[in-house]
Amino acid sequence: MTPVPPATICVALTGASGMPYGIRLLESLLGAGCRVWLIYSQVAQIVARQEMDLLLPGNPAQAARELGARFGAPDGQLQVFGREDWNCPPASGSNPPDAMVVCPCSMGTLASIAHGLASNLIERAADVVLKERRPLILVPRETPFSTLHLENMLSLSRNGAVILPPAPGFYNQPREIGDLVDFVVARILDQLRVPHRLMPRWGDDAAS
């Protein structure tokens, strides 16, 4: 039986290298028909500009309009929330998303989530997802990792989170950076059970 994609996915972008993964994930989720709740940090805005020459507006409504138009999403499919919007749905366990992905995930954000802090909406939303036993996927920034980073990851894994380092494989013979990005995003979508055609699966001759 083909898995049904989750109705609502919360995507958080933090100030870590790897913004192309997060933006491609956003595009893929919207393309798959998922409703997306998007949150991003102030530093994520800087990283998006640096790595992709992408302007993430500070106004949530403007961001929803511009990103929705960029990816062809109908009105209402994408909602963007401010970092301190404590009245929005992902801030409460009474209205959690079906799953949450922090991509890219800074070590500061990862540590805060591991220790149950909730000083901003990203941390609070992740805390809600964990306590409600919903899938939480963290895509950490580039290597290396300190022992403290690894201990925080282990703690989160023991509490039900999935740690998904952006380490692409090469068995599909990638030819450009976009192929490497798609490999990682495909693994995230697999964890969410969202169907995709980003790359051939192992044993398949080509993506259908």
Residue extents of the structural domains in the chain: 8-192
Structure tokens at 134: 């919903």
Summarised one tens digit per residue, pLDDT across range 124-165 is 999 999 999 999 999 999 899 999 999 999 999 999 999 999
What is the percent of the chain where pLDDT is above 70?
A: 95
Q: What is the pLDDT of residue 3?
A: 47
Percent of the chain with pLDDT over 90: 88
- One-letter amino acid at 183 equals F
* Mean pLDDT calculated for residue range 167-194: 95
For 154, residues 6+ apart whose C-beta sits below 8 A from its C-beta are none
For residues 30 and 1, the answer to whether their CB atoms sit within 8 Å is: no
- Preceding peptide of 104 cis, ω within 30°: yes
Query: In the sheet where 8-13 sits, what is the strand order?
Result: 78-81, 35-40, 8-13, 99-105, 136-140, 162-163
Instruction: For residues 1-19, give the mean pLDDT.
Output: 81
Is the model's pLDDT at 1 over the cut of 60? Answer: no
pLDDT at 4: 52
pLDDT average, residue stretch 86-113:
96
pLDDT of residue 208: 40
Q: Is the peptide bond before 144 cis (omega within 30 degrees of 0)?
A: yes
- Tell me which CATH code domain 8-192 carries: 3.40.50.1950
Question: Quick one: pLDDT at residue 203?
Answer: 77
